[in-house]
């Protein structure tokens, strides 16, 4: 039975995560269009995804180190404040027609959002291993609220923009405080800090005998140890593949639909359905990963991103492109939940923030590389070539798994 305090904290984390997810949809759905509007070229269309990946690479491990030392809440609150400042700067960039301000705003926004992703670590802290993947599922399912909020706020921005003399793309970003401020209030209500719960799981789950040695928190953390273990190495590879594949697909989806004349609201709806795929099935995915193991969920998830990427790149209708984007979302969720749970299982609570930070850093680097090549591929070789790159990215960890002669 899950204790009341754990349920309460999980609900607060889940709703807070949903607001953050809604803001991320702005970045992936709107910024490619902002870049094209400001530069007149699709070569930089992957800027948003690239900067999110760069910021993730830069802050994932440092934020994990901070949360391991001082608790999860302080770093998360700081990240939310950064996200708010960066998002407002992005909106101002379109109003000022400044590509430089857009670049700086997206970098700050991405850093803030990725620091706030320590919410996932907070969720894993509060549950024993047999319930850990479904804990991630609970939190990610909360983001379904963001799926509803994002297109509504984009529509609100479209309606308000003419009245206040702003571009519709700018106005959507100016609604960001409606998401971030409530999220900060929710995080402030989380108590005790999830790290404290994680270090005393036996107290909250009386039937659970913790195998953690309190002295582990004083042992040096070596990120290379994660790569030496086949299970965590494969988990990091799957997480990287899912993130890299999705980085390409999120850019392609907006560009393909815009190319075929669909409205901003239609694009936002398609991105919302993609996000529904990312989050709506998180609880059953988590339960499956707890019941059947991490691998039987993680590898099919990566395969699903491969199929979805092909649909986005090689079809033209709104329905088929959206279906492909949706499948990529579901596959990403499976790889992310099972992969993160695998990494979380491998370390004690006092090192978990850094361990997940390492995995996120690799995923951020992959997202950055894929975002940097997507724009040029689209500009000079067409959508099909970018789609092929997304397919190949997803194929790598599947080949690694076949080459690993152990049960992982």
Express each pLDDT in 143-178 by its tens digit. 777 777 877 888 888 888 888 888 888 888 998 888
In the prediction, which pLDDT does 206 show?
84
Tokens of 173: 């970003």
**Residue 108 and residue 337: Cα distance in Å, rounded?**
26
Would you say residue 282 has pLDDT above 70? yes
Average pLDDT taken over every residue of the chain: 87
User: Does residue 230 contact residue 302 with C-beta atoms inside 8 Å?
Assistant: no
The SS3 of residue 219 is coil
274 contacts: CB under 8 Å, gap ≥ 6? 249, 250, 253, 322, 325, 326, 328, 329
**CB atoms < 10 A from the CB of 182, how many?**
14
pTM across the whole model: 0.84
Would you say residue 13 has pLDDT above 80? yes
The SS3 of residue 121 is helix
**Banded pLDDT at 216 (limits 50, 70, 90):** low
In the prediction, which pLDDT does 382 show?
77
φ, ψ for residue 167, nearest 5 deg: -70, 145
In the prediction, which pLDDT does 406 show?
66
φ, ψ for residue 307, nearest 5 deg: -65, -45
**Residue 208 and residue 202: Cα distance in Å, rounded?**
5
Render pLDDT for 197-211 as a digit per residue (tens, 0 to 9).
Answer: 998 898 899 877 766
CATH number of 4-194+224-402: 1.20.1250.20
User: Does residue 271 contact residue 28 with C-beta atoms inside 8 Å?
Assistant: yes
In the prediction, which pLDDT does 5 show?
95
Q: What does the pLDDT average to over 65-84? A: 92
Tell which wins on pLDDT, 152 or 214: 152
In the prediction, which pLDDT does 148 show?
76
Tokens of 251: 């850019």
In the prediction, which pLDDT does 208 show?
78
Q: What does the pLDDT average to over 41-60? A: 78
- CA dist 80 to 20, 21, 69, 310, Å? 8, 12, 19, 35
In the prediction, which pLDDT does 43 show?
66
Render pLDDT for 349-358 as a digit per residue (tens, 0 to 9).
Answer: 999 999 999 9
Would you say residue 98 has pLDDT above 90? yes
Chain centroid to CA 110: how far?
11
φ, ψ for residue 143, nearest 5 deg: -70, -10
Q: Is the peptide bond before 264 cis (omega within 30 degrees of 0)?
A: no
**Residue 33 and residue 24: Cα distance in Å, rounded?**
15
Would you say residue 185 has pLDDT above 90? yes
User: Which range has the worst mean pLDDT, 53-62, 207-216, 347-356?
Assistant: 207-216
In the prediction, which pLDDT does 158 show?
82
């Amino acid at each position: 039975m899950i204790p009341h305090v754990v349920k309460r904290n999980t609900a607060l984390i889940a709703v807070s995560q949903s607001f953050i997810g809604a803001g991320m949809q702005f970045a992936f759905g709107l910024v490619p269009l902002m870049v094209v509007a400001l530069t007149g070229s699709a070569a930089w269309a992957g800027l948003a995804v690239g900067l999110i990946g760069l910021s993730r690479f830069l802050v994932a491990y440092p934020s994990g180190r901070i949360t391991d030392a001082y608790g999860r809440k302080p770093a998360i609150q700081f990240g939310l404040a950064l996200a708010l400042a960066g998002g407002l700067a992005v909106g101002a960039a379109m109003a000022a027609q400044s590509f430089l301000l857009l670049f700086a705003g997206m970098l700050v926004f991405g850093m803030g959002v990725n620091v706030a992703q320590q919410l996932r670590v907070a969720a894993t802290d509060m549950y024993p291993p047999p319930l850990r993947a479904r804990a991630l599922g609970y939190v990610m399912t909360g983001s379904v609220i963001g799926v509803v909020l994002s297109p509504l706020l984009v529509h609100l921005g479209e309606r308000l923009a003419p009245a206040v003399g702003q571009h519709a793309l700018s106005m959507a970003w100016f609604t960001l405080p409606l998401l971030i401020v409530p999220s900060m209030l929710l995080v402030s209500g989380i108590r005790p800090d999830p790290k404290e719960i994680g270090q005393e799981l036996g107290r909250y789950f009386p039937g659970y005998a913790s195998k953690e040695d309190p002295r582990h928190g004083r042992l040096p953390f070596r990120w290379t140890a994660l790569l030496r273990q086949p299970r965590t190495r494969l988990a990091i590879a799957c997480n990287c593949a899912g993130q890299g594949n999705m980085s390409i697909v999120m850019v392609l989806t907006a560009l393909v639909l815009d190319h075929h004349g669909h409205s901003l609201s239609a694009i936002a709806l398609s991105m919302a359905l993609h996000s529904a795929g990312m989050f709506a099935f998180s609880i059953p995915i988590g339960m499956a990963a707890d019941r059947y193991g991490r691998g039987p969920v993680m590898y099919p998830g990566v395969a699903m991103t491969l199929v979805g990427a092909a649909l986005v790149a090689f079809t033209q209708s709104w329905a088929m492109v959206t279906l492909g984007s949706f499948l990529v979302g579901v596959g990403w969720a499976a790889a992310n939940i099972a992969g993160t749970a695998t990494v979380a299982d491998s370390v004690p609570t006092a090192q978990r923030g850094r361990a997940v930070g390492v995995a996120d850093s690799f995923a951020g680097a992959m997202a950055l590389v894929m975002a940097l090549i997507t724009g040029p591929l689209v500009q000079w070789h067409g959508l099909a070539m970018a789609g092929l790159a997304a397919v190949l990215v997803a194929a790598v960890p599947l080949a690694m798994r076949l080459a690993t002669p152990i049960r992982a």
